[in-house]
Structure 1
């Protein structure tokens, strides 16, 4: 899963790194739309970790109006502003570089920004849940450029800020469900860790065997039911090959929409739920949803 290179974080925590931005800002922070934005990646990372907050990094294209459009959209949404005030914010040009052991490296080249595909966009790095396996890792990635199915809008960010704590793949699948225009209800309850482990296991298994399905569900049903205290249902889907992760999440939700049985699980409310997705060596992504009632 995407993570800033270990050497960068280690040096950061030791206080040995200084930013080397391609276009160095005059100050370490700016204020827009009643929000405080860091202009120094390392300072933002330290602040988020000290305050145990999510770190939101915006990489915006130079000479583009997208940043101004985002500011205007945020300013028009007081509820979104309030959510962003609970997050450490960092705003940099998409060609920003940081100093790593005396060498300048483009920030977008780090694995933490992989899902932006080398371009501009927003990532959320979890520096809030210190004991979680995804601490220090990217847990949301929202490109500003459109994809096969994905289109940028400020709604993407608003939905992402309300996602439960989890990995990038878990949160991206939940995000895709919540972004569906028919507003399916399956994620409006408790994100359950036992179901999450089960969804990860089945998504990974499908990716390993390169086949979509409910393999070994009878055995898994009894294990999961015992863990959550009720019966469990499952949905599975596969994407078209060689797509980005975010396009594939949207693709899986669209696939479920075309199956009445699967959509019944995705669209209705449950007592608890979980989603995850994994990519096989064949370039196909395999999604899984689990529900307890």
Structure 2
């Protein structure tokens, strides 16, 4: 058994949790650069917590410039074991309405301007992301949402686009009708892939703000309407997060799905051929194996 430490990556307001004790903003240095912001740490119901504003306080990072590797490395260095991503998204499904939450279990990665791996020349690794989220964490998020009275959908495919612009009508229809995506957002990739490389359990809670541009009765995305829905979703998101410590508990057994052992058969480069400089950068995310 180890000690649970829950990390929440989200937007403004999601770290303002009632009952968080010993709250302190901590600056973490990483070999991948600075994270999006300092990280708020504390304890909630006896469980250690860490809150990282994905875009930085004041929303200073675009989806393309979020330092994803530094963020995941920083959470790993802090001893986090479980990562909950909370993010806004658009919906491709009539039944998944604005204000609803979706517990994502699959991704289609359409991003192209981001570093997507901690590994590379000097240390090659291939982790499996066939099932990119942790079912155990997803179940806890679903239960927390239901307990908080949130309309929640278990399972869904998240289309990760580069942004920062929203979809064209043609793209929206293609993602929905041909590709079978359920929601669309700009930030969960490569976040989920990097969490897997760092052997962190990862769950994605997508908070629906709009119907993207495919819906004939809603037209193009209205940023004003999105912000209004976003504020309501933030309240719901805090209620969901506040229930997670009691569900996950302070004592943590090994992940039954192997998320915390993802690197065991993934690293291919032989020890004598590994780049020492890259090895030094991997001390947190891959230290268990290296």
For Structure 1 versus Structure 2, the TM-score category normalised by the shorter chain is: under 0.3
- Normalized against structure 1, the TM-score is what? 0.26
Q: Which protein has greater RCO, CA pairs closer than 8 Å, 6+ apart?
A: 2
The structure number with the bigger radius of gyration is 1
